[in-house]
């Protein structure tokens, strides 16, 4: 009975949903950036599987069903651009220029650091898309022979760091323009950073949301030239 439950796709799905709900409640209770639901859910799943010695195959049976949803989620990002089309039209040149510079900087910095520290091609491919949203990052990593787990971890670290330090860097470099601040946050720390941008201001949140989509598209194209 237990064996059948563990190897059922519903085990992975139920584990993910319950862990995510716990993460959401903890985040609402604490309000801390580090208590991101995705981070908490990942930690809970890892601890539970190790504690009860549950094989990874048991979780993957349901986890792969969640992964199948990444494709449609990526397509839905286009809807976000459509909803923000008036803002995008108003700030078209700053958006395109800022996102292009941000995407090139992100890719180049990771690529050069990986070469400097002698990382192999698989790890390099996994870390290059760390500044775009998870759905796009996993697709880029997989297409270049990277490891999806490491790619997802890189995305989480980049997002949490961006959400934590975005206000500090804005103050340090005297960035007072809401459009520039929003684009910088979205280009470097995707959705996790955008949640912080929305707390800073409505313009910052809107521009950060646009940057997620535009940078995702640009990064997907730019990596083709590596």
Distances (CA, A) of 136 to 15, 69, 150, 212: 24, 12, 14, 10
Q: What is the pTM (predicted TM-score) of this model?
A: 0.77
Q: Point out the domain boundary residue: 67, 97, 112.
A: 67
Tens digit of each residue's pLDDT (9 = 90 or more) over 134-155: 888 988 998 999 998 899 889 9
| Greatest mean pLDDT among 6-20, 32-46, 78-92, 205-219 | 205-219
Cα 117 to Cα 14: distance, rounded to the nearest angstrom: 40
Tens digit of each residue's pLDDT (9 = 90 or more) over 64-108: 777 777 667 666 667 767 777 888 888 899 899 999 999 999 999
pLDDT at 5: 73
Domain match, 137 and 34 both: no
* Residue 72: both structure tokens together: 């449609």
Domain range enclosing 12: 2-67
Domain match, 185 and 81 both: yes
How many domains does the chain contain in total?
A: 2
Cα 68 to Cα 79: distance, rounded to the nearest angstrom: 19
Domain match, 119 and 20 both: no
pLDDT at 102: 93
């Amino acid at each position: 009975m237990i064996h059948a439950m563990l190897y059922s796709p519903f085990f992975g799905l139920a584990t993910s949903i319950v862990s995510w709900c716990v993460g959401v409640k903890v985040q609402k209770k604490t309000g801390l950036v580090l208590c991101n639901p995705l981070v908490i859910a990942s930690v809970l799943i890892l601890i539970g599987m190790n504690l009860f010695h549950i094989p990874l195959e048991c979780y993957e049976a349901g986890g792969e069903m969640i992964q199948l949803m990444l494709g449609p989620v990526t397509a839905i990002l286009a809807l976000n651009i459509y909803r923000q089309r008036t803002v995008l039209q108003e700030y078209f040149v700053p958006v395109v220029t800022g996102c292009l510079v941000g995407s090139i900087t992100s890719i180049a910095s990771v690529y050069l650091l990986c070469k400097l520290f002698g990382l192999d091609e698989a790890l390099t491919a996994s870390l290059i898309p760390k500044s775009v949203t998870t759905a796009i990052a996993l697709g880029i990593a997989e297409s270049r022979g990277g490891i999806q787990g490491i790619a997802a971890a890189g995305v989480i670290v980049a997002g949490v760091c961006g959400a934590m330090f975005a206000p500090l860097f804005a103050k340090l470099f005297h960035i007072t323009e809401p459009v520039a601040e929003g684009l910088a946050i979205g280009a470097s720390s995707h959705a996790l950073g955008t949640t912080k941008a929305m707390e800073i201001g409505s313009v910052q949140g809107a521009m950060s949301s646009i940057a997620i989509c535009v940078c995702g598209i640009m990064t997907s194209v730019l990596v083709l030239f590596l």
